Structure 1
Amino acid sequence: MRGHVERRTHEGFTRLITFADAVVAIALTLLVLPLTDLANEDIDEDNFGRFIADHYMVVVSFLISFAVIWALWRNHHRTIEHFVGYDDTLFKLHLVWLLTIVILPFATAVLDNSDMRWANVFYIAVLGISIASLIAIARWGIAHPELLDDDPETAVWAVHQRGLGALITVTAALIVAIVVPGANAWPLLLLLLASPIDALISRAKH
């Protein structure tokens, strides 16, 4: 009896990416549900400006998480543009990444609860795992060129592949959140330094 051999087709790769895109779309949609629930609860509220003022932290959390998930998807999209196939490891790395995407709406809801300690630590930790899994996807592809497209653009991407800046800054943000639990989501501003750090790392390599 012949052993089972799992096929790796281009159609299977396309389905993996389509599934990932669908999960991201659902996660983005789920982010707005807390705001919808609040709007339904405040049925006597006749001033939109007052509603926003009363729930500004929920609005801010929604905008931050929307931007975070969008940025994660954009980086995933830019990375996968250079892939033409997948293997079991890449499949599992996507599982980890998608798990963080699914958790982020919950982490956002927890972050909105100002009375819950370490909510910001949980949120930033989930974000850090998401960034790390994206970096791992890219590194795995670079280490296994048979999974990548054979073109000049991919060759340049492999040489100048970034992401460490985001990982360094999210780690710093996590440390700040642990040391200063009351900092809420403000440590995430450190992520603005990710691109400059990536540029420094790139110059150091060359």
Structure 2
Amino acid sequence: MEGGRRAEEDEVAGLRSDTGRAIGFSDAVFAIIITLLVLDLRIPEVPPGGLLHALLDQWPVYLAYVTSYLYVAVNWLNHKGTFHRVRCTDVGLQWANLAVLFTVALLPFVTAVVSDAVQHGNRFDERVAVSCYGMLGVVLSAAWLWLYHYLSRHRELLQSHVPASFFAGERLRAVLGVAAYAVAGLVGWLVSVPAALLVLLLLPAFYGLSSNGLADLRRRAHR
């Protein structure tokens, strides 16, 4: 009773607000990020007859674009699934959300670094670029961990049908992301750049399938 009264008082005082503005702003950021990814796809300047060869030579650009597009799409799906369960926001949640958006917004830069290194750099440049991509994945997963942890500690922000344990469980997905992207970065630096790129391409598939939560993924797996 007292917690409910305090929540109502916070909303009246302007400390809490509905999720509309946070979702609208976040969707706009995701749309801009995807647009920026496309800008790295350029028509090569070649003499007549050399277009096909030049287009095929740009395969690292296409691979980096597909990987990053999937990564942005999966983050958008996760964001949508998260805020579908949120009733209202407060300052702490808004900062956690901004941290997620900040790290996702770095994807176009890291994507361009990877595609340029694979196209024009040497083996050392490729290792540096792929390791940077893996490091960004670690930071982004850590931002999601912050957001999930915050929601797990603030049940009053959630929809009434969402169990208190849901976001506590979602922290596991974020921890797995921190570990998996760290491993991908290390594989790219120490072992094999192609192997690291394969891991970075496969990870969004897992997070896409589990975007509605690990519990939902387990439910679908047992059908």
Give me the TM-score of the superposition, normalised by structure 2.
0.72
- 2:68 equivalent to 1:65: yes
For 1:99, the equivalent position in structure 2 comes to: 102
- 2:35 equivalent to 1:29: yes
TM-superposed CA distance for 1:49, in Å, is 4.6
Pick from 15, 18, 26 the counterpart of residue 24 of structure 2: 18
Q: Counterpart amino acid of 1:169?
A: A
**SS of residue paired to 1:9:** strand
For 1:133, the equivalent position in structure 2 comes to: 143
TM-superposed CA distance for 1:139, in Å, is 2.1
Q: Counterpart amino acid of 1:52?
A: L
For 1:145, the equivalent position in structure 2 comes to: 155
Q: Counterpart amino acid of 1:30?
A: L
TM-superposed CA distance for 1:137, in Å, is 1.1
Residues 172, 182 of structure 1: alpha-carbon distance in 2 compared, 3 angstrom cutoff: closer
Deviations 1:89-137 (A, max 9, x none): 2111122111111110010000112223511111111122112212321
For 1:157, the equivalent position in structure 2 comes to: 166
Q: Which consecutive residues of structure 2, in runs of 5 or more, have no partner in the other structure?
A: 1-12, 219-223
CA distance in 1 between partners of 2:136 and 2:143 (Å): 11
CA distance in 1 between partners of 2:158 and 2:29 (Å): 24
CA RMSD of aligned residues (A): 2.9
Give me the TM-score of the superposition, normalised by structure 1.
0.77
Q: Which consecutive residues of structure 1, in runs of 5 or more, have no partner in the other structure?
A: none
CA distance in 2 between partners of 1:139 and 1:17 (Å): 19
Q: In the comparison of the two structures, how many residue pairs are matched?
A: 188
Identity, in percent, stands at 26
